[in-house]
A and B are shown apart, each in its own frame.
Chain A
């Protein structure tokens, strides 16, 4: 069978699948855009209640037209709390992933490119860090430094670095062995050029896709911290502490946990889908976190 015949034979089976994937991808991107727009614009959204105002509606009412996500036992509007909770959760996850990608990416690329003892040192630190239970470590840092926005962000950032470094290292190893790097080397390019102009740009696509997956993991990590009461202290609202409050009211008002839990699930699903799809389309391997 010729190559064209093979492609033609494969086509009918592939096409509907790809269309489905495209639709799911755009739905995911749309949902993420909506969530980001809502949490960024929260202070200026006129129709959004004050999330701290008690008796915005009758206490513990299910979702209605005036209170989309219902109210809690103090009568606070759960939709507003969900948006503001997302605002804090995402404003922790965003910088954490940004710093994690830059720091972990550089660390991994340097280790993968230089090899020898640099790689040995970085790899062993990364392996030990990955063998430690992340939440225990984060809990320890936050307890020691105090439950503030900055400290929670620091704690979750530290968690992202080793995982990202490991992936960046694997990618750098792959590209450092490629012909164009060897050629540039033979043409007399010095290491900064080889590293930053030849290897690094090739690792960036993988890092960009990883950023979405890492974002999901950081949101879960911060959520777990706030769920057990160890993230930014009250009266700050996070997705995790809304769910922790909803846990005590499952019988009376299940909507508290279900609505915010649903928003969180949809957001994580979208992040993972976009990340996975980017990895697939950019043909990046060995990049699961």
Chain B
């Protein structure tokens, strides 16, 4: 187990290094001086020199990257030369919003997918199954921004149940918080739901054929007990795996949803910096996001083998 863990962690470190180096190298292909661009074209010679010194622009790419890595590891993420705001300050405001949005939408998606997936796998071709499968198919074909626009139109503009006033922290009261967070969470969850649902349904159909399910049913256990205790448990491994894969995809949704609902989270930060040509910050953020997601995937993989010893032996 230790050796397995060691290999996986080494692989992880290697991938994170490779990914950040790739982004660093790509930014270097950009014509022109990133420090000139960072000031939006209105900078004094000294400011540019200071920025160049900060970024070690005289060094070869690989040395720049190594120094950048050292800075990031010691908590120095750089700052916006345009506004003077540091990367850390921007992230402190944005990150909690994004994490809450992700947490709410994953809860909603799993909360809906587990009962629906279990039931439509158990009662194949029933009315519930047909409606869920059809719905999942339609959701898969709906871009996040189209669904979000329709939800805004119906529930915020027409019915006025929810606010579109940007973000409200939990400290402003739970009601106010959920009046702004509910629609974004539902929009994001709608993208994740069909993936979980389809996977769980297929899995459940397979598990129901197993002998231990037959035994449990023969013992006279109620259906609910069999589905939740005997059928869902092995499927939780599949859900965990797809959770890791979907985490990366969820970020695509987060960017669009935060833009759509004016949430000013990490996704909006990225879009804003891209629009303002803050390449240096974009680079750091993209590298961090990439590193986080490669880590998430690896951790899920590791968790998988901790929970299910069969994986380790293969």
Contacts and interface: CB of A to CB of B under 8 A. Distances in A.
B259 A228 contact: yes
Contact of A223 (B143, B277, B286): B143
A136 interface: yes
B145 A230 contact: no
B19 interface: yes
B29 A144 contact: yes
Contact of B143 (A144, A247, A268, A273): A268
Contact of B255 (A128, A224, A251, A273): A224
A240 B145 contact: yes
Given A133-B293, A139-B271, A139-B274, A144 B27 contact: yes
Interface string A231-259: 00000000010011011001100100110
A250 B152 contact: yes
A227 B270 contact: no
Interface in B1-45: 15, 18-19, 23, 26-27, 29-30
A251 B249 CA distance: 31
A134 interface: yes
Contacts of A243: 145-146, 149
Contact of B289 (A136, A258, A264, A269): A136
B140 interface: yes
A59 B271 CA distance: 31
B196 to A, nearest CB: 13
Contacts of A140: 23, 26, 274, 282, 286
Interface of A: 128, 130-137, 139-141, 143-144, 216, 220-221, 223-224, 227-230, 240, 243-244, 246-247, 250-251, 254, 257-258, 261, 264-265, 268-269, 271-273, 276
Given A139-B274, A228-B256, A258-B153, 16 more contacts: A131-B294, A132-B248, A133-B289, A134-B249, A141-B26, A144-B29, A220-B143, A221-B252, A224-B143, A228-B255, A250-B149, A254-B153, A257-B150, A258-B149, A268-B143, A269-B137
4 A-B pairs with least C-beta separation: A133-B251, A135-B252, A268-B141, A261-B146
29 contacts: A128-B19, A131-B245, A132-B290, A132-B294, A133-B248, A133-B251, A134-B249, A134-B252, A135-B252, A135-B255, A136-B286, A140-B23, A144-B26, A224-B252, A224-B256, A228-B271, A229-B271, A229-B275, A230-B271, A243-B145, A243-B149, A247-B145, A250-B157, A258-B149, A261-B150, A265-B141, A265-B143, A268-B143, A272-B140
